[in-house]
Structure 1
Amino acid sequence: MGKKIPLRQCVGCREMKTKKEMIRVIKTPENEVVLDVKGKQNGRGAYLCFCAECLQKARRSKGLERSLKISIPDEIYDRLEEELKELDTKQ
């Protein structure tokens, strides 16, 4: 039998995918919201697909805020969107 691959749910589209197919957004102990590209940083995490569309859905449904248990200002969403676009062009 193969090794069990953990699945995570996107807070935008609510689809279950493997960790490798998603990006982790974390709330650090200092209450800062950042993209965790390597998936190893400490903090409460939520997962998003690698598309700006899912970030928009999470923004509208406040899914990210519920998962991280923090209110997220617009400028942080804008910064996350920019970082996602940069990552998208690298892949």
Structure 2
Amino acid sequence: MKKRKIPMRKDLLTDTMQPKKDLVRIVVDKEKNVSVDPSGKKPGRGAYVSLKPEKIAAARKSKVLERSLGVKVADEFYDELFAYVDHQKARKELFGDQK
């Protein structure tokens, strides 16, 4: 059986290459709206961040998303991102790595 290639993406927060399924994509569209992209297929400029809530809190302080995406990121978005990442982490712990 042929071994499948695992897509890798660079985590903006830790500056390391990780499997795409272990990251979440943040996207900014033409209207400068920033959103979480769970499917990874929304059009626009994207950046990948890890599914670690403590890294999201650090990103809020360092404003690394704003520098990478080139737009002002609202505090409400960081709250939404933190909730999404926290939910995904709990889900992964509960159900394991399925697919």
The alignment's TM-score, normalised by the length of structure 2, stands at 0.77
Pairwise CA distance, 1:5: 4.3
Any runs of at least 4 consecutive aligned residues in structure 1 with deviations exceeding 3 A, and if so which? 1-6
Q: What pairs with 1:1-91 in structure 2 (closer than 5 Å)?
A: 5-91=6-92
Provide structure 2 residue ranges, at least 5 long, that are not aligned to the other structure.
Answer: 93-99
Q: Which one has a bigger Cα radius of gyration?
A: 2
SS in 1 for 2:35: strand
SS in 2 for 1:41: coil
Q: Distance in 2 between matches of 1:29 and 1:89?
A: 32
The alignment's TM-score, normalised by the length of structure 1, stands at 0.83
Q: Distance in 2 between matches of 1:90 and 1:5?
A: 22
Q: Distance in 1 between matches of 2:77 and 2:67?
A: 15
